[in-house]
Amino acid sequence: MRRRAAIPRLLHGGAATLALIAASVASGQPSPRVAHTPPAPLIAAAADLKFALDEIIVQFGRDTGESVRVTYGSSGNLARQIAQGAPYEMFLSADEQYVQWLAARHLTRGPGELYAIGRIALFAPHDSPLRPDPRLSHLARRLSDGTAGRLAIANPEHAPYGRAAEQALRSLGLWEAARPHLVLGENVAQAAQFAASGNSDGGLIAHSLALAPELRRRGSYALIPDSLHEPLRQRMVLLVGASPTAERFYEYLRAPAGRGILAGYGLTLPGE
């Protein structure tokens, strides 16, 4: 499948409860520190990592006594912030092209490393009339007979999971019919909040978010075949000026402890 656009165009534009989580992601405010030893390095991370990375940060603090802070958002917006001089020390992107774009501008320490392959899922609350299924057959019937409600996805302009959702809908011939029903989140965590809160019948969101306890209590999901969209190749990289603590956190994500938590949220490398 051909890439829809070059990186520069994609860069255009702009948990007590799930709503509070989504608000913290959308506002770009750092999550609380694990420890109280300032200054802790600031990490930029794709919104699909919200639950998994928060868990890793807690474990990292227990194992090392060190802390990091993290800001979640859409990968495109975070990459743009880094290019504009935001003081991040590490970037975990949901689309490796954003890391490559930054590396070409000499803003990273090397090319980084693939840390996960992401998947999308159709999530619906328990009381929703929408029934999740892998091929979106029930959604297709509702679109056809005029009974479809709203469907949440992340904004495809700068959110990789939104682009994957669009690609899946296009692959199934549903994109044009679904467009009037779409509710766009600024990032995939906000789309998940829309889907889980009843502001839409459901949403095409990150599998890693659908697996989080907060969402599993609220609804059910179906994993979408990865043949329906381009691979969500997620790459991480240390940025120029990264501190030793950031370096150690990078290595922690490569180690079994970090990889095990990522795998628990459906984020795995090819062959695993």
pLDDT in tens, 156-173: 999 999 999 999 999 999
How, if at all, do strands 42-46 and 113-118 pair? Answer: unpaired
- Domain 7-117+233-264 falls under CATH 3.40.190.10: yes
**What is residue 154's predicted lDDT score, i.e. its pLDDT?**
98
Number of Cα atoms under 13 Å in the Cβ half of residue 13: 15
**Phi and psi at residue 43, in whole multiples of 5°?**
-110, 140
For residue 44, the surrounding DSSP H or E stretch is: strand 42-46
Q: Give the three-state DSSP class for 66.
A: coil
Across the chain, mean pLDDT equals 90
Domain assignments of the chain as residue spans, ordered by start: 7-117+233-264, 119-228
Alpha-carbon gap, residue 236 to 223, rounded angstroms: 24
Q: Structure tokens of 194?
A: 């829309």
Same fold, 7-117+233-264 and 119-228: yes
- Candidates 199, 221, 201; CA nearest to 209 is 221
pLDDT higher than 60, residue 204: yes
Q: Structure tokens of 120?
A: 């999308």
The confidence band for 3, taking pLDDT boundaries of 50, 70 and 90, is: very low
Average pLDDT of 196-203? 94
- Candidates 166, 187, 168; CA nearest to 93 is 187
Put residue 85 in one of left, alpha, beta given phi > 0 → left and psi -120 to 50 → alpha. left
Question: What are the residues whose beta carbons fall under 8 Å from the beta carbon of 189, sequence distance 6 or more?
Answer: 21, 22, 25, 26, 47, 48, 50, 72, 209
Q: What does pTM read for this prediction?
A: 0.86
pLDDT higher than 70, residue 36: no
Read off the pLDDT of residues 7-30 as tens digits, 9 standing for 90 and up: 444 444 434 445 544 554 554 556
What homologous superfamily does CATH list for 119-228? Periplasmic binding protein-like II (3.40.190.10)
Average pLDDT of 71-84? 98
Q: Is the peptide bond before 39 cis (omega within 30 degrees of 0)?
A: yes
- Candidates 102, 138, 134; CA nearest to 121 is 134
Q: Exposure pattern of 10-30 as b/e (b: 16+ CB <10 Å)?
A: bbeeebeebeebbebbbeeee
Q: Structure tokens of 264?
A: 């628990």
